[in-house]
Amino acid sequence: MKIAITSCGPTADCSIDERLGRAYWILLYHLEEDAWSIIDNSQNRNASQGAGKLTAQTLVQLGTTHVLTGEIGPKAFRILKASGVRIHLGASGSAAGALLAWQRGDLPEAVAATESGSPHCLLANTRMPAMLNMRTDKLTRSPHPERN
């Protein structure tokens, strides 16, 4: 088995990167050998679009059997599922900690892509000086003056 874990750094003690496609690193744990491989995901992460799809294709090519991450988009989800890769969402803490949580059965298998979007993307929206009110299509000031 090969378990891919999205990470903010190149070692198992680094924290989980909650995004699949824009993850900085992919740590691939080889269960049978009890060994790690490190994949720099910068080429996929820096793609102008389709980062999740590209990362999913890379993981399939590497023979990944399981993915542990925080969030996953619909395209990446479909690619991985169609290839028989099992996806486990909600990973947090360190990559090594996420692996232990998966081994304990604490990370259930995902049945759908994440719909809420990455927390990193949602955080970016709170820093915008004005927000679009979708019901009226008018720009309104944020109710939080410190964010304007």
Of the candidates 32, 59, 54, the residue with the CA atom closest to the CA atom of residue 68: 59
7 close to 26: Cβ distance less than 8 angstroms: yes
Distance from C-alpha of 78 to C-alpha of 9, rounded to nearest angstrom: 26
Residue 8 has pLDDT above 60, yes or no: yes
Same structural domain, 64 and 19: yes
Same structural domain, 110 and 123: no
Q: Residue holding tokens 């996420």?
A: 98
User: Does the predicted TM-score (pTM) go above 0.85?
Assistant: no
Same structural domain, 138 and 79: no
Q: Number of folded domains in the chain?
A: 2
Distance from C-alpha of 8 to C-alpha of 55, rounded to nearest angstrom: 15
Residue 31 has pLDDT above 60, yes or no: yes
Same structural domain, 38 and 86: yes
CATH number for position 27: 3.30.420.130
Domain that holds residue 60: 2-114
Number of C-beta neighbours around residue 13 at 10 A: 11
Same structural domain, 36 and 93: yes
pLDDT, tens digit, 9 for 90 and up, residues 75-134: 999 999 999 999 999 899 999 999 999 999 999 999 999 865 445 443 433 333 333 333
Same structural domain, 107 and 46: yes
